[in-house]
Amino acid sequence: MNLRAHARLDTSLELLIEQAPEDRAPRVLATVVATAGSTYRKPGARMLIMADGSHLGLLSGGCLESDLMIHARTVMDGGVPQVVEYDMRGPDDLLFGVGAGCEGAMRVLLEPCGAGSPAWAALAGAAQATGAGRPAVLVTVHEAATGPLGTRAPAPAGVLGAAVQRCRTEKASQVIDIDIEEDGRLRAFVQYLATPPLLLICGAGPDAHPVVSTARGLGWRVIVVDHRPAYAVADRFLGAVVHCAAASALHSTVDLTQCHAAVVMSHHLASDADYLRQLAAAGAPDYVGLLGPAARRARLAEELGAAADQLRGRLRGPVGLDIGAVTPEGIALSIVGQIHAWLAGRPVGDAQQAVRAIRETVK
């Protein structure tokens, strides 16, 4: 399976679950269920609004949030879901809209989402599945002649059940807008949630921490592997899975076929060579980044030999976008930024260059 094609970069669901307060105070979930034209976020984007007016996530660049807060208070007080529509296309927006001038339209469902609510249970269940590496499906009904509006776990039968099955089969979200003879109109957004990117960090030195922090800040899953017990400490990498294992045992420690990208950065030459050798033999992941200058890459070339050919089209070294980074945090940004761009299908440089350089050094 092409993991890159199915990586989900919109991790607003997982970030909401991770960052939401643990108290049982009332809160409202705002979900984009339909859009037209140019909009900041697309269907499936979510925002959690708390009773004190604070919020997690954004549905726009800030132009809609104040208005959403007003509607959210009504939902919070009454406990009844509400649909809000914003049409920011054309000059009428200046008179009847919010004056954003974004040339787009957005339909948003606001619903109670306190701890123990059906919506929160559905979100938490989906996040648990994607965090474990399994795709999930969420159904958000935003218009129905009968039955409640809201976000729910998928139903096994009926019109929505069939849409859920198509969603799973096609690995794509479905829009439901039909007139049911007996029940009237039904509109729903059936969202397919692929797993967030899984990043493998080979090496747990001090400069690995900002890389992990940057990736975790995006809601990515992260695995860290190092052979040194003093470095492979879970408390140093909150939210990541940490393994203390020899580099030569990488293939038996991590399922490399499930990783979207790997970065080799142990600063230990023999270990980096072993990591690269293991990644070359596994044929996965499709993105392998190597930290360090050209001279170090040349030394690794002598260790790899013909194994470098198995990294063709996958290896990028030095890893990261050239953003002029000079601090560990800046370097982390350049690394994660390049991986993000690659996952999104954006140009990130010639992956063959690193392999060609290695082969030329061997010759």
Which pLDDT tens digit goes with each residue over 141-200?
999 988 889 999 987 777 788 889 999 999 999 999 888 766 678 899 999 999 999 999
Sequence-separated (6 or more) residues with CB below 8 Å from residue 128: none
In one-letter notation, the amino acid at residue 287 is Y
Which pLDDT tens digit goes with each residue over 31-67?
999 998 888 889 999 999 999 989 999 888 777 888 9
How far is CA 340 from each of CA 4, 28, 321, rounded to the nearest angstrom?
10, 30, 11
How far is CA 65 from each of CA 38, 88, 244, rounded to the nearest angstrom?
17, 14, 45
The domain defined by 198-362 folds into: Rossmann fold (3.40.50)
* Model pLDDT, residue 91: 56
Q: How far is CA 69 from the centre of its chain?
A: 26
pLDDT: is 304 or 361 the higher one?
A: 304
Within the chain, which residue ranges are assigned CATH 3.40.50.720?
A: 198-362
* Model pLDDT, residue 138: 96
How far is CA 56 from each of CA 15, 35, 222, rounded to the nearest angstrom?
8, 21, 22
Q: Is the pLDDT of residue 274 over 50?
A: yes
- Taking the whole predicted model, whether its pTM rises above 0.85 is answered as yes
